[in-house]
Amino acid sequence: MNKEDIIEQIRKKKSFLCIGLDSDLSKIPSFLLTYDDPIYEFNKRIIDATQDLCVAYKPNIAFYETMGSKGWDILKKTLNYIPKNILTIADAKRADIGNTAKKYAETFFSTYNFDALTVSPYMGEDSIRPFLKYSNKWSIILGLTSNIGSKSFQNLVLKNGTQLYHEVIERSSKWGNTDNTMFVIGATKAQELKYIRKIIPDHFLLIPGIGAQGGDLDEVIKNGINRDVGLLINYSRGIIYAGNDKKFALKAREEAVKIQRKMAKYL
């Protein structure tokens, strides 16, 4: 999926919502446990209820890996069920030396045919380069994350007076371009978005951390939006676990509608 396709979906749906499919067997409604494949059934119903309100789905790979080979099968079936005009993001945070990175890229972009993959820039350009060789695929580079421990490294002040995350974003933005790279910026770092937009004014940003982690939607939008919108704002628990009975999909839709309506005001 290319940049124009994403922008078209945003304008059509008046939404830049990404829904995280962090599907956990211990949290899904108990009645689904009677199905042969409870997680897949859960994912299907969430997708059916929200596909007209979001522009991306983001399965967190850890929730599928933990189930072994069955989890990878569920992931594949879920991907096949998602409409082709909706961006699919593998939240896997991969990267490694060249040959290994090449296999990671093949796994997520060929075997599973995701549109995008989160990657870590810590090992440098050669660990990301194999992902960038795929056309119409996206590498979403960790830029500034919302977890408490991010301050241990990302906010370190370098000798030139800049913070480490500034250098990471500026340098890694040159490895690819605005048509194949995005950046993860945590919603709890909304004030930093003003500075980040000076470094990368035209890149898309994947923004997790709204809701349960304390990020403010309006603040993120005001500080991060650009001429193409340039934002994919992720909600996971606040949508998919909005209900825990047989009406869970309806509850998920109701929460997605609330968010979409807020987003529409900025479009």
HEC per residue, 142-199 = EEECCCHHHHHCCCCECCCCCEHHHHHHHHHCCCCCCCCEEEEECHHHHHHHHHHHHH
Q: What are 19's strand-pairing partners? A: 57, 235
Question: Which residues are catalytically annotated?
Answer: 93
CB 26 within 8 A of CB 46: no
Q: Cβ atoms within 10 A of the Cβ of 190, count?
A: 23
As a whole number of angstroms, the distance between CA 42 and CA 30 comes to: 11
